[in-house]
Homo-oligomer: A and B are copies of this chain.
Amino acid sequence: MVIDFIADYYNNIEHYPVLSQVKPGYLRHLLPRSAPLAAEPIEEIIKDIETHIIPGITHWQHPAHFAYFPCTASTAGILGELLTAGLNVVGFSWVASPAATELEAIVMDWLGELLNLPKPFLFSGNGGGVIMGTTCEALLATLVAARDRKLAEIGEGEIGIGKLVVYCSDQTHCAFAKAAKIVGIKQGNVRVVPASKTTSFGLCPDELVRAVRSDRDRGLVPLFLCATVGTTPTAAVDPLLPLCRVAREHDIWVHVDAAYAGAACVCPEFRHVIDGVEGADSFSLNAHKWFLTTLDCCCLWVKDPSALRKSLSTNPEYLRNQASDEGGVIDYKDWQVTLSRRFRCLKLWMVLRSNGVANLRNFLRSHVRMAEAFEKLVAEDARFEIVVPRRFSMVCFRMGVANLVNKKLLESINGSGRVFMTHAVAGGIYMLRLAVGATLTEARHVAEAWKVVREQADAMDVEGIVGC
């Protein structure tokens, strides 16, 4: 029944408004005040989902969902989650389910090889990969590892942690500053280097050098650089090669956050965007974004797993066991922030196998082609401008130069319910973002998206808005 419900959901998905049209607080008066004392039939619950929940869903799987970055589902991903829930094992240490740990290590080497990650990131090269829920967790884990390694060097002292400085650009995802705050980096020591249109919003290595030098001159200690491949606002690419060179000189841990765009590197023609990654210490991508696994599945590779383990290991008596004591196994609890962990590699393994690498590449390429087609349509309309060169499957564009006009335009586009896009502001420019990536998106949906944009633009009283 639930499988049928999901099948129907996907069959009907185009009939729903992409962006939920409910008002805040809509649900509370539709549901009972408290949990029922007696069991209710599953039919009843499914009916409520149809009637009360679905209207409050913003449909991320809708083929006209072009907002944020994609969060892709697929049959293999969904069935993988189903199996994970069915087996419901907790693979914190090897012994708690050897297959959960061993499959994860194997699949992370598979995916690492597909991405052509340098050998030192793979288990086969004495590094290794681990699956977490989100990039936030990957950033936290690597930041803590880098922090503790540095503090061991310079001495924890009274003010050790207060001296540490981390670096990013103003295009870096906010998860980084949040993770830095959580691990105790002082707010004033998060160095946000502005990126500009000149570098297509990539982080400029010379600016990094300047920031690092000035911090060192003030007696501060450079710790960590978060470089992004495929930034959230505009899918910009920070140039890894020169950035890692700077970092190495100053003994800075480099993490490469390729949450969205990393998946594209399984296609040889896109792999160059992570050239230079051999100089980084860690690399992550969200397979739930553009690699079909369903939420959540953040893949993190590190060159030095012992750095993670030194910071994140726990060894309480109640978890001790012979296999761990003998040391020949991976206990993933020591590689991550959380103890309990879901058997997430199962779905990643299933996605890789049931699609095959060739189809996965074609899937990614098809999205890029659709974005190219959209870019072309935008470029042909004199009212519009492509703000930054299209990267991957994302197009950033605007109508004229007035931010307010574009804001209103986006509101009316999303108000139509026919598509859902979001916006970014970079270098002071407000732009609309079309991120192609939903599993069901076809060329016709992108064409339709352009039609909606044009129609809403046609209907707009631009002078009225700019005048006010």
Residue of B nearest to A358 (CB): B37
In the bound complex, residues from chain B placing their C-beta under 8 Å from that of A422 are 318-319
Q: How far is the CA of A433 from the CA of B110 in the complex (A)?
A: 39
Q: A68-B96, A82-B6, A354-B45 are in contact. Are A106 and B337 (CB under 8 A)?
A: no
In the bound complex, residues from chain B placing their C-beta under 8 Å from that of A323 are 24
Q: How far is the CA of A319 from the CA of B178 in the complex (A)?
A: 15
Q: How far is the CA of A407 from the CA of B113 in the complex (A)?
A: 42
In the bound complex, residues from chain B placing their C-beta under 8 Å from that of A144 are 181-182
In whole Å, how far is A370's beta carbon from the nearest beta carbon of chain B? 20
- Which single member of B76, B89, B134 contacts A60 (CB below 8 Å)? B89
In whole Å, how far is A130's beta carbon from the nearest beta carbon of chain B? 15
A307 on the interface (CB 8 Å rule)? no
A459 on the interface (CB 8 Å rule)? no
Dominant secondary structure at the A interface: helix
Q: A99-B55, A137-B337, A339-B136 are in contact. Are A356 and B425 (CB under 8 A)?
A: no
In the bound complex, residues from chain B placing their C-beta under 8 Å from that of A24 are 94, 98, 323, 328-329
Q: A58-B95, A140-B182, A182-B337 are in contact. Are A106 and B31 (CB under 8 A)?
A: yes
In whole Å, how far is A363's beta carbon from the nearest beta carbon of chain B? 11
In the bound complex, residues from chain B placing their C-beta under 8 Å from that of A306 are none
Q: Are A99 and B57 in contact (CB under 8 A)?
A: yes
Q: Are A178 and B312 in contact (CB under 8 A)?
A: yes
Q: Are A134 and B184 in contact (CB under 8 A)?
A: no
Q: How far is the CA of A357 from the CA of B79 in the complex (A)?
A: 30
Q: Are A353 and B295 in contact (CB under 8 A)?
A: no
Q: Are A316 and B232 in contact (CB under 8 A)?
A: yes
In whole Å, how far is A108's beta carbon from the nearest beta carbon of chain B? 11
Residue of B nearest to A430 (CB): B317
Q: Are B73 and A353 in contact (CB under 8 A)?
A: no
Q: Are A45 and B353 in contact (CB under 8 A)?
A: yes
Residue of B nearest to A40 (CB): B353
Q: How far is the CA of A318 from the CA of B228 in the complex (A)?
A: 16
Residue of B nearest to A2 (CB): B79
Among the listed stretches A156-164, A381-389, A444-452, which one makes contact with chain B, having 4 or more residues with CB under 8 Å of it? A156-164
A342 on the interface (CB 8 Å rule)? yes
Counted per complex, copies of this chain come to 2
Instruction: Tell me which residues from 417 to 460 in chain A have a Cβ below 8 Å from any Cβ of chain B.
Output: 422-425, 433
A11 on the interface (CB 8 Å rule)? no
A404 on the interface (CB 8 Å rule)? no
Instruction: Tell me which residues from 39 to 59 in chain A have a Cβ below 8 Å from any Cβ of chain B.
Output: 39-42, 44-45, 49, 52-59
Q: Are B49 and A83 in contact (CB under 8 A)?
A: yes
In the bound complex, residues from chain B placing their C-beta under 8 Å from that of A90 are 60, 68, 71, 295
B-facing mask of A402-426, CB < 8 A → 1, else 0?
Answer: 0000000001000000000011110
B-facing mask of A318-331, CB < 8 A → 1, else 0?
Answer: 11001100001100
In the bound complex, residues from chain B placing their C-beta under 8 Å from that of A19 are 95
A169 on the interface (CB 8 Å rule)? no
Q: A88-B73, A90-B295 are in contact. Are A233 and B318 (CB under 8 A)?
A: yes
A468 on the interface (CB 8 Å rule)? no
10 other contacts beyond A56-B102, A133-B340, with CB at 8 A cut-off?
A6-B82, A28-B106, A57-B89, A60-B88, A60-B97, A173-B316, A174-B319, A175-B314, A182-B337, A322-B411
The 3 A-B pairs at the shortest CB distance, nearest first, are namely A184-B184, A56-B99, A81-B85
Write the residues of chain A forming the contact surface with B, with a CB cutoff of 8 angstroms.
2-3, 5-6, 9-10, 19-20, 22, 24-28, 31, 34-42, 44-45, 49, 52-61, 68, 71-73, 76-79, 81-90, 94-100, 102-103, 105-106, 110-111, 113-114, 133-137, 140, 144, 156, 158-159, 161-162, 173-175, 177-178, 181-184, 186-187, 232-233, 286, 288, 294-296, 311-312, 314-319, 322-323, 328-329, 337-340, 342, 346, 349-350, 352-359, 411, 422-425, 433
